[in-house]
Structure 1
Amino acid sequence: MEEKRILVLSVDIDNDVGEKARIKGPIVGRKENLDAALKLGEADPEDTDVNTIFYAVKIYDELSKQHKQAQVVTLTGDAHVDYHAQSEVVKQLEKVILEFSPEACVFVSDGASDESIIPLIQTRVRIVSIKTVTVKQAKELEKTYFVILEKLKEPQIAGIVFGIPGVALLLFAFSEFLGIRVLLGVLGSYLIFKGIGLEARFLRLFSRTRISFDKANFIFYFAAIAFLVISIILGVNEAFVVQSLGLNNLPKEAALVLKEFLKLLPVSILLIVIGEVLQAIQDKRTYVLPNYIVSGSGLMLFWLIANNAADWIVGVTAFGEFFYSLILGIIAMTAVTYLAREFKRAIISRMNLEGKDAYTDIGGFIGKVVGINKRRETLILQTSSNQKIDLEFGNVAEVGDKIIIRY
């Protein structure tokens, strides 16, 4: 019987090995991984990735006794732990797969941040086992302290824990008590965005956006940034004007600032939408046009409702008019979303995607399209290991003789 090729894989998603030990991934081989773990341990003895790499080597040693064709590899991501980190891990994994051609994989992890990459790994190699490293501590309090300390070093958490209070202090210093009001407004908006999932959607949108001087959307993004800056200046200027008037009415003050801020902000966002539409037409990606129809319509309706709400608070518009505009906006948005979804399904149905091979944007084979889930708007791919996976249509970058996927 032919020996199975087993890959023991550890992932350093936040690239501690690169940042602290100055070693680039992928790190292939037993000796290379031991050297990387030792250098990382010398640079930061408390880093859990040290234990992960050592554990991966331990598993490799055990598997080598049964499988001669085994290999141990550590992949590294990016310090920001976002799209760029996942993209870097995928690129390194595809390089390893081309050189080693593994049939199965043992995934070694030290926690949830590394395990977030599992779906992307499963599309390329079959994971037969997941091992999680747990570092033992004598005291729970000590463990909790060090966990919090390590988490505060992560850019995303540090940005919230230190960034928001920092903004508050600056605003308070420059604009007396108005700073607290602006802070509460910013913080409230952020919590609402995060609570309903808009933060993740915007991050995905910006991570997939490609801007280049030779692309149709460049000039639109350039103009959009200018309008955005002007909108912020108008809003801040209005805030100082309102403060100087001494209205002592927070709702009216906020409404006046909002109206001034919204004067040009929709123009900025619509320019981005128009730029993306033209770019999609140029790239022959007509299947994404319904998404931009929904985005553009939603932004216009939001602008209309927000303006009417501000007018009602100021006293220019009666509550009845605001309420009717709100109801009509919801009905119109529901209708636009439904029609855009049907439009998109019709486009997908005419594309004849079944049977086509799907590759990443750097040439790595993912699988063959064996079906389409129109309701969930996903492609059903069958990988080389005969696994079936669902892939969101939003990840499709190009459709031709083959399908190009961008994560």
Structure 2
Amino acid sequence: MTTLVVCLDRTDDVGRKTGLRSPVVGWEAVRALVTDVGLADPEDSGVNTLLESLRVAQNLRDESEEVVVAVVSGDHESMVSADRAVADQLDDLITEYEPESAIVVTDSAEDERLIPIVESRVRVDSVDRVVVRQARDIESTYYLLKQFLADEELRQTVLVPIGLTLLVFPLLATTVGPATGAAAITTVIGLFLLYKGFNVDEILARLAHQTQESLYSGQVSVVTYVVAAGLTFVGLFVGALGVSNVGETPGVVIPATRFAFDSIPWLAMAALTASAGRLLDEAISDEPIRTSFLNLPFIVVAVSLVVRGFSAYFLEQQDAIEPFVVPAHTLWVLSNERFAMGAGQRLALFVVTAIVVSLVGARIASSLSGQRDDLDSADGGAPSETGADREPEAAADATGTPDSEPPADRTDPELTDGGADAGADVDPSEERTR
């Protein structure tokens, strides 16, 4: 039974400090490597990791096991290249020594990320992580702080919020009180954590990049998005005016319903304008229009009708709006008198209209998609053969010559001597002379 004691070095600290290429295999080679790494950087924890690998290998040898100790290093250029280098070196070691199990020795969580690569190739019996005992004094704390301050990302993430808090809290405590100041600072810190947690900075950067590309490419959706934003603000303003006209009403149900009733037409127009711009961009581009963009305007109209119908039903039940009256001399009424629809009838009309609109949109989108598929299949079919494109065999079939008839032999006497008629005029004696 052969056991592989492998020391993992993902960032290739050993190679950069000694100039040696991994893998380093064998007891003597690893022991010499300990001296080289110790002379290059005595403070490196990799020295302790190499010594731990030798100790584990020695203990296994004392138990009469066949042991192969090796040091496998990655690449400091990128993590992907480092992992692939470690995988290639492990494949070579396993092919050469054929170990049945492995013991992994690491000194950091960064190196432990290579353990799944080892497990995918050989059974791992143990993972030995080396933790170097440090003196807990002022000097060690100083070096830890020095390493912390050397990292620019940690400084910006930790020190900047702490510094702003220490500057702002005394000002707020003297002006609005300690409790209010602490609440304000806690709110800002919470918003900052949410900002970092949801990657808002990346979302904003991606949005700015997409906007820049849209402006430079001349897309119609840029203009329609601006118009849609204006209609959205108008809808919010109209909804707010409707809520202000409600008056003193207990609860928030009626004001919210009034806001939806007044603002939904403008919000629907904003959504239709934005979807129309996106649809025009799809139509202008060379790619075929997707079905989702064709169906989107109908869905917007259907949803707006449903929201408008339900909000009108609740408001009419509370006598906040007048019933819907159909004027006389229209197609909806059969008499010359006006017809007032009830709240339920009005809701049913809006819901049925929304369903019809959504079905019409789905039908139009599916029909256009079917026509596009038919055109694609027609364009992608095999071209019809013309007389010039036909093979010689096909041309022969057209003239009535069978395909199976072999070609005539040009050395046939009937062809060279003029055929049977020519041979009949020859005297038999002359034929024998030939």
TM class, shorter-chain normalised? 0.3 to 0.5
Q: Which is richer in strand?
A: 1
Larger radius of gyration: 2
- Normalized per residue, the structure richer in helix is 2
* TM-score (norm: length of structure 2): 0.40
